[in-house]
Amino acid sequence: MEEAAAVRRAASEAIADVVPAELRETIEDHVADGSAVPGALTLLSARAVSGEDPDAPVEQAAGVQLIYDGLRLTRAVARANPWREPDAVAADGNGAPADDDADLAILAADVLVSRGFYLLARTAAAEEPVGVVRAFGRDQTDREAATTDRAADLDRRLEGDILELAVTTGVTAAGGRGDVASGIADELAPEGPRFDAVEQFFDDARRDRVSRLAADGGRPLNRND
């Protein structure tokens, strides 16, 4: 899928100067291991509103993607909690590191989120990532004392929040209104705390839903609004 490829290239460029090399490799491996759904949705949302090839907001799409990958890694490390359980080894499919790599993983997660913020800093959606990160922090704190079912529900919220960020970023990048994001994000959110590969996630029904963003009110503003 061309949108996913564009996002991955932009994300790679955004972290190309990270040093030392071991940290950069950890970041690159984690990003490559995940799904590019958030970044791809950002581009598809921009296209739905503008009707044009969304090359212009590709850096913004990479910013959304990097924020998600950073929070996803933070969540995986928190689940494994290798500092409290030093013999635990990652195996949950979300990119959680073995205990020996936990400190490096947390640093990598911080870099991912901060680079994502940087890429969105001068955009119409610049304030939105702050709410995503704050909500994530509250959810992960609440998760510590939650029942199993409740914990699973709290984990899933990250995917819903990041989809809302993706739609808001894409729509506003195309000059449209971002207030349609919440509804569509709820419709598109996966059942579990991870995304399928881009090709599987964007089935015909989801693509059709995204294409109707402009009709929902995400169209560009004009002088009569």
What does the angle CA 173 – CA 115 – CA 88 come to, to the nearest 5 degrees? 125
Query: Is a pLDDT exceeding 80 seen at residue 86?
Result: no
What residues make up the domain containing 106?
2-213
Query: Is 26 within the bounds of a domain?
Result: yes
Q: What is the mean pLDDT of the chain?
A: 86
Residue 145 lies in a domain: yes
Q: Look at 180 and 208; give whichever has higher pLDDT.
A: 208
The reported pLDDT for the residue numbered 225 is 42
Q: Spell out the residues 6+ positions from residue 103 whose beta carbon is closer than 8 angstroms to its own.
A: none
Residue 222 lies in a domain: no
Residue 223 has pLDDT above 80, yes or no: no
- Using the predicted structure, report yes or no on whether residue 221 has a pLDDT greater than 50: no
Identify the bridge partners of residue 95 per DSSP, sorted by sequence position.
Answer: none
| CATH code of residue 190 | 1.10.600.10
| pLDDT interval class at 184 (50, 70, 90) | confident
For the chain, what is the domain count?
Answer: 1
Q: Which of these, 176, 157, 195, lies nearest to 41 by C-alpha position?
A: 195
The verdict on residue 134 lying in a domain is yes
Given a contact cutoff of 8 angstroms between Cβ atoms, the answer to whether 167 and 180 are in contact is: yes
**3-class secondary structure, 35:** coil
Count other Cβ atoms within 10 Å, centred on residue 172: 25
Residue 106: phi and psi, rounded to 5, are: -65, -40
* Structural domain includes residue 221: no
Q: What is the pTM of this model?
A: 0.87
Closest CA to 65 of 98, 107, 106, 33: 33
User: Assign residue 89 a region: left if phi > 0, alpha if psi is -120 to 50, beta otherwise?
Assistant: beta
Residues 136-168 pLDDT 10s: 999 999 988 888 888 888 888 999 999 999 999
The stretch 107-116 carries a mean pLDDT of 97
Q: Summarize pLDDT for 7-16 with one digit per residue, the tens.
A: 999 999 999 9
For residue 44, being part of any structural domain is answered with yes
Q: Residue 78 falls within a domain, yes or no?
A: yes
120 touches 64 (CB < 8 A)? yes
CB 196 within 8 A of CB 185: no
pLDDT exceeds 60 at position 99: no
User: 220 lies in a domain?
Assistant: no
**What is the mean pLDDT of the segment spanning 201-221?**
78
